[in-house]
Amino acid sequence: MSLVIHTTGLSKSFSGKQVLKDVSFQVEKGVTTGLVGHNGAGKTTLFSLLSGFLKPTEGSVEVLGCSPADPILSNRFSVLPQDAGFVHGIKVGNQLARLAELQGFSSKEAKREAVRVLEIVNLKGEWGQTPDNLSHGMRKRIAIAQSFIGEPELILLDEPTAGLDPESAKNIRNYIRDKQRQATFVISSHNMEDIEDLCQDILLLKAGQLTHQESIANLTARTTVLTFKMEQEVNDEIKQIISQISSVTKVESGKTGERRLTVFFSSSEKDALIEIEILKCLATSNLKYREMIKGERLADKVLEMSV
């Protein structure tokens, strides 16, 4: 087992206020990991500690076996910070080339590398623009592009798709998916669809503490659960109807307004038949649904675990 991140007893306080408490976890090489939690849970602080932007009040961080500040990591890990801005007045292409030079590329190669990463985010044509002339979404894509410079072994992405249009977000997700064999990604995001889509493990932070580190497959239990987005509110009567199916072990509903119905059933060789039976029951009871997902939705599960 090769670890890319190893933290022990990590704590961080700002002006006496503790925002991260005794966080210990490991990330294995090749396992894309999502960092999730409510606003103020300490995600960005943890992310900044992993990136070397902040220094821990207590505890230790190891990234690829070294301290995040170790110069040996120069070309081995990259970061997409949340709010970092580029230098005003300088062409974005030149800025990316300069960052590539800092990663060890020669001046000529650095320019080629800058073009390559601009192509990934579909902004090759904006090489000559200064950051001031680009929209927020475009600046975000340039920031994403800088994290793809070189061949980093570990890529830390803070809210990679926030503020992007659907097409750009899809494009970035595709690129991450393609790169998952070559690099380990740690993605901090509020977008559970992204996390569910891209990650194998999640780290859940709650009030500065790490409460869960689990595989998403286990969390969402895809084999014995069906989740429906209903067209009407799920009340006790509906839950009662579904509970009558012999293999169903538990029925849960979301909060008012969520219109979520989660049906748990006992695992057997005839899972597909049970699923059909549940669907038939819904149809005969005239209960219409908009969406059906095998397993639980990560967003619902995270919400449940965060309470």
Partner 1 sequence: MSLLSRSLRARQILVLIKQDIARALQGSHGQLFFIFFGIFWFWILWKFSGGVANSLSDQNSVEEVWLINLVFSWFFESDPKVLFSDHPATLSLYYLFAITTMPMFVLVAASNQTAGDIGSQYLRFLIPRCTRIEVFVARFVGATVIVSASYFVITLAAAVMSFMIDNNAPLIQVVTYTLQITLSILAYSLPFIAMMALCSACVGSAGLSALAGGSVYSIVAVIASFSSLRWPEVGELINYLLPSMTKSMLLSLNLADLVQACFVALAFVVLYGGAGWLVFSRRDI
Q: How far is the CB of 37 from partner 1 (least distance, A)?
A: 20
Is residue 52 within the footprint of partner 1 (CB under 8 A)?
Answer: yes
44 part of the interface to partner 1, by CB under 8 A? no
Instruction: Collapse the DSSP code of 163 into the 3-class scheme (helix H, G, I; strand E, B; otherwise coil) and give the result.
Output: coil
Give the residue, chosen from 60, 74, 267, 268, that forms a contact with partner 1 under the rule CB under 8 A. Answer: 74
Count other Cβ atoms within 10 Å, centred on residue 221. 14
For partner 1, give the closer residue by CB, 27 or 204. Answer: 27
**What is residue 280's DSSP assignment?**
H
CB of 286 to partner 1, least distance (A): 55
Angle of the 136-147 helix axis to the 107-120 helix axis, nearest 10: 130
102 binds partner 1 (CB under 8 A): yes
Spatial strand order in the sheet of 77-80: 77-80, 154-158, 184-188, 33-37, 201-206, 209-215
Nearest residue (CB) to partner 1, 57 versus 253: 57
Q: Which of 40, 84, 280, 285 binds partner 1 (CB under 8 A)?
A: 84
Considering only 33, 146, 220, 262, the residue that binds partner 1 (CB under 8 A) is: 146
Out of 6, 38, 98, 212, the residue judged to bind partner 1 by CB under 8 A: 98
The secondary structure of 47-83 as a DSSP string is HHHHHTSS--SEEEEEETTB-TT-GGGTTTEEEE-SS
- 10 Å Cβ neighbour count for 107? 10
11 vs 75, beta carbon nearer partner 1: 75
3-class secondary-structure state, position 229: strand
Contacting residue, 2, 16, 88, 181, with partner 1 by CB under 8 A: 88
Q: Work out the number of other CB atoms within 10 angstroms of the CB of residue 15.
A: 4
Q: How many Å is the Cα radius of gyration of the chain?
A: 22
The stretch among 86-94, 163-171, 263-271, 275-283 that binds partner 1 (CB under 8 A) is: 86-94
Note whether 73 binds partner 1 by CB under 8 A: yes
Q: Does 77 bind partner 1 (CB under 8 A)?
A: yes
Paired with 230 in beta bridges are 289
Out of 40, 60, 69, 119, the only residue in the binding site for partner 1 (CB under 8 A) is 69
94 binds partner 1 (CB under 8 A): yes
- Spatial distance between the Cα atoms of 63 and 190, rounded to a whole number of angstroms: 24
55 binds partner 1 (CB under 8 A): yes
Chain residues in the site for partner 1 (CB under 8 A): 14, 48, 51-55, 68-69, 71-75, 77-79, 81, 83-90, 94, 98-99, 101-103, 143, 146
